[in-house]
Amino acid sequence: MWVTSSLTTALTPTAVALGNFDGVHRGHQQVVKPVLPESLAESLATRSLAAFPPAESRCPEDKSLLENTISESRDSIHKLSISTNFYATVVTFNPHPQEFFTGKSRALLTPPDEKVLHLASLGVEQLVMLPFGREMAALSPHEFVENILVQQLRAERVSVGQDFCFGYKRSGTSADLQAIAAKYDVEVIIVPIQNSEGERISSSMIRQALLSGDIERANRLLGRPYTLTGSVVKGQQLGRTLGFPTANLQLPSEKLIPHFGVYAVRVAIEPAQNFSQDSTEFCGKEKNNLTENSLSHLLPGVMNIGCRPTVNGTSTTVEIHLLDWFGDLYGKTITVSLEKFLRPEQKFASLAALKAQIEVDSATARALFIGNG
């Protein structure tokens, strides 16, 4: 997957999914779907078949021609799904526009590297992270369509969510985008707002769930477990002295940290990610290792997020104890999938009491994973 922050190095022509895509949640996935090769091919076939009269009024010649068209459409779907006529592209903004306007940093569900992996797993071929500054913020909706989408990205199709806003002071709506783009013969797909169990799926709702410890709700809205990916670094090795060695995880500074407490988790020990990077772009040579290869060998464990009040800790730490697994993880990258929130962080009267509780937490997690297979 090609990733760039410069329009001059973007691969064209494109089919573009437009938005912020923090989390790459179930709603985002529906916005991405129309720009993938398979969806483009199906759309072409559907338009071809739409020219035929209803079944009850078809003459024999229509039926014969229809059979040939169906056969040709199937061939078109197969050919287009493997062609590179249009690059399936996600266009997003960096920093997030809200961060630019407020001047406040924004915790991310998916920092750039994670976003790349999740988008690649969907079949996206290119990610364009447009630098968002005064110049971009000043573009009118018409200027954005003409200058960015038409002239520079050579977009043939654009997909956005129903609530998408763009242009100066968010003055353009998804309907405006559709109307403006039509003048340039660019098709715009407006994807309805997605819901889960009567609740709107949004990055804000997922953040809220994570910060309150409702990991099951967050995972349902995401469509997958929330993950923490980082490098294992040396800690104080307190867990080892208690008989429960832990991996101390160093996360990207912008990563959203869930509610402090203890979680049942599954852990993937990652092979080195195959990316090349310079100041403006990097290229992932392999499809998502995170979701395809390494997650087939997940290790059960328990994780504590917090400040370790029992030993008067002051800084936030993320520590994972793998159940029934031993090995050297220092320097390795691991991905931790949060499955269930077990309990809040608490201060114990002694290390012995802490050790006893870790034994309980480990047993609870083990029973959970045995029960779920």
Instruction: Note the pLDDT tens digit of each residue in 226-241.
Output: 999 999 998 776 666 7
pLDDT bracket for residue 324 (50, 70, 90): confident
pLDDT bracket for residue 218 (50, 70, 90): very high
3-state SS, the chain, equals: CEEECCHHHCCCCEEEEECCCCCCCHHHHHHHHHHCHHHHHHHHHHHHHCCCCCHHHCCHHHHHHHHHHHHHHHHHHHHHHCCCCCEEEEEEEECCHHHHHHCCCCCECCCHHHHHHHHHHHCCCEEEEEECCHHHHCCCHHHHHHHHHHHHCCEEEEEEECCCEECHHHCEEHHHHHHHHHCCCCEEEEECCCEECCEECCHHHHHHHHHCCCHHHHHHHHCCCEEEEEEEECCCCHHHHCCCCCEEEECCCCECCCCCEEEEEEEEECCCCCEEECCCEEEECCCCCCCCCHHHHCEEEEEEEECCHHHCCCCCEEEEEECCCCCCCCCCEEEEEEEEEEECCCCCCCHHHHHHHHHHHHHHHHHHHHHHC
Residue type present at position 116: V
The mean per-residue pLDDT over the stretch 209-215 comes to 97
- Verdict on whether the full-model pTM lies above 0.85: no
Checking if the pLDDT of 296 tops 50, the result is no
pLDDT at residue 276, as a whole number: 35
The residues pairing with 340 across neighbouring beta strands, listed in sequence order, are 264
Instruction: Note the pLDDT tens digit of each residue in 102-112.
Output: 989 889 999 99
The mean per-residue pLDDT over the stretch 336-348 comes to 94
More confident residue, 243 or 22: 22
Checking if the pLDDT of 274 tops 50, the result is no
CB atoms closer than 10 angstroms to residue 326:
6
Instruction: Note the pLDDT tens digit of each residue in 162-188.
Output: 999 999 999 999 999 999 999 999 999
pLDDT at residue 320, as a whole number: 94
Checking if the pLDDT of 144 tops 90, the result is yes
The mean per-residue pLDDT over the stretch 277-302 comes to 52
Q: Which domains does the chain have, with CATH numbers?
A: 2-38+84-193 (3.40.50.620), 225-275+285-372 (2.40.30.30)
pLDDT at residue 38, as a whole number: 79
